[in-house]
């Protein structure tokens, strides 16, 4: 579904992403792990279309999308959440998700208040909130940190992505919250590319794991292979 070929991002003298080649098949849940500054978020930004690569290509569904702007990639089915909150605090969870549904359907924001009367949209909204175990009426501004992160995922799901990019979705969650979150994520039927520091979440969720360090892929394999890799241990523990 997704094929990166020699993808590179230079910031001045720094090769933040340095010749990364990587494939993600339909239905995979691939985790991208690596130390801070490894280039994970930069790679995501290039896949989503927010950053133009300095070199290399991105293929999605067999087509070269390297030059496509972000909104056109979103239309083709690439969605991502952000590391920082992008919610409307004064709106309820349902209203926030309804905005995302309406945006996907090309409906104007002006009429969003009417969404309560539109049973079709309401049903869809309820579905995403249920998947993320959120209640409809809570204002987004009153959510705990973990709930807000789940709402961001619900809004990304409202785009009905074929490929969902999650950048550290469990950051700041308690260990109980992140364990439950991992279960919710596992139940999604979307192809997933997830950056996550919490290795418990990674190994609970991922079908495949890619390890990035200094902009390069240093290991790639099943969760079991990555767990057993001496190279990965060296990068993480500095031994
Ligand atoms: P990660 O998400 O793995 O922690 P990032 O992709 O955020 O890493 O960053 C990779 C490297 O690129 C870091 O050294 C970071 O400082 C640098 N970097 C990221 N974005 C920019 C930017 N817009 N301009 C200059 N340097 C950047
Ligand atoms: Mg990052």
pLDDT at 87: 85
**Any idea what the CATH number is for the domain that residue 55 is in?**
3.40.50.300
Quick one: pLDDT band at residue 136, thresholds 50, 70, 90?
A: very high
Ligand having the closest approach to the CA of 16: 1
**Rg of the chain over CA atoms, in angstroms?**
18
Is the CB of 9 inside a 6 Å radius of any atom of ligand 1? Answer: no
- Which residue among 160, 194, 220 closes a domain? 160
Residues in the chain: 239
Tell me the best of 11, 13, 43 to mutate to test the pocket of ligand 1, counting ligand atoms within 8 Å of each CB and taking the most: 11
**Does this complex have an ipTM over 0.90?**
yes
**Is residue 118's pLDDT more than 90?**
no
Please report which helix (H) or strand (E) contains residue 201, including its range: helix 199-205
- Which residue among 132, 160, 188 closes a domain? 160
Quick one: 4 and 67 in the same domain?
Answer: yes
What's the mean pLDDT when you consider all of the chain?
A: 90
Quick one: 73 and 170 in the same domain?
Answer: yes
Q: What is the span of the domain harbouring residue 179?
A: 1-77+161-239
- Which residue among 160, 189, 214 closes a domain? 160
Task: Indicate the pTM of the whole model.
Answer: 0.91
127 within 8 A of 182, measured Cβ to Cβ: no
Please give the distance, rounded to the nearest whole angstrom, from the Cα atom of residue 137 to the centre of ligand 2. 32
From atom 24 of ligand 1, which residue's Cα is the shortest distance away? 11
pLDDT digits (tens, 9 = 90+) for 52-110: 999 999 999 999 999 999 989 998 999 988 555 678 889 999 999 998 888 888 776 65
Q: Supply the DSSP string of 106-133, one letter for each residue.
A: T--GGGGGGGGG-HHHHHHHHHHHHHTT
Number of domains comprising the chain: 2
Express the helix, strand and coil content of the chain in percent, nearest 5 each. Answer: 40, 25, 35
């Amino acid at each position: 579904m997704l094929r990166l070929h020699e993808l590179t991002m230079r910031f001045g003298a720094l090769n933040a992403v340095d010749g990364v080649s990587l494939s993600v098949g339909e239905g995979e849940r691939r985790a991208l792990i690596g130390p801070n500054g490894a280039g994970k978020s930069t790679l995501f930004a290039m896949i989503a279309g927010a950053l133009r690569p300095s070199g290399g290509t991105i293929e999605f569904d067999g087509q070269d999308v390297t030059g496509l702007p972000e909104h056109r990639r979103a239309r083709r089915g690439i969605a991502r959440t952000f590391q920082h909150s992008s919610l409307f605090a004064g709106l309820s969870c349902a209203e926030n998700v309804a905005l995302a549904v309406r945006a996907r359907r090309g409906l104007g924001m002006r009429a969003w208040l009417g969404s309560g009367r539109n049973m079709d949209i309401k049903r869809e909204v309820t579905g995403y909130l249920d998947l993320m175990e959120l209640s409809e009426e809570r204002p987004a501004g009153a959510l705990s940190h973990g709930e807000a992160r789940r709402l961001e995922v619900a809004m990304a799901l409202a785009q009905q992505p074929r490929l969902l990019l999650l950048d550290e979705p469990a950051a700041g969650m308690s260990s109980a919250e992140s364990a439950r979150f991992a279960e919710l994520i596992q139940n999604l039927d979307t192809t997933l590319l997830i950056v996550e520091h919490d290795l418990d979440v990674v190994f609970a969720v991922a079908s495949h794991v890619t390890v990035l360090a200094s902009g390069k892929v240093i290991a790639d394999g099943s969760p079991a292979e990555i767990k057993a890799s001496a190279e990965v241990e060296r990068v993480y523990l500095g031994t």
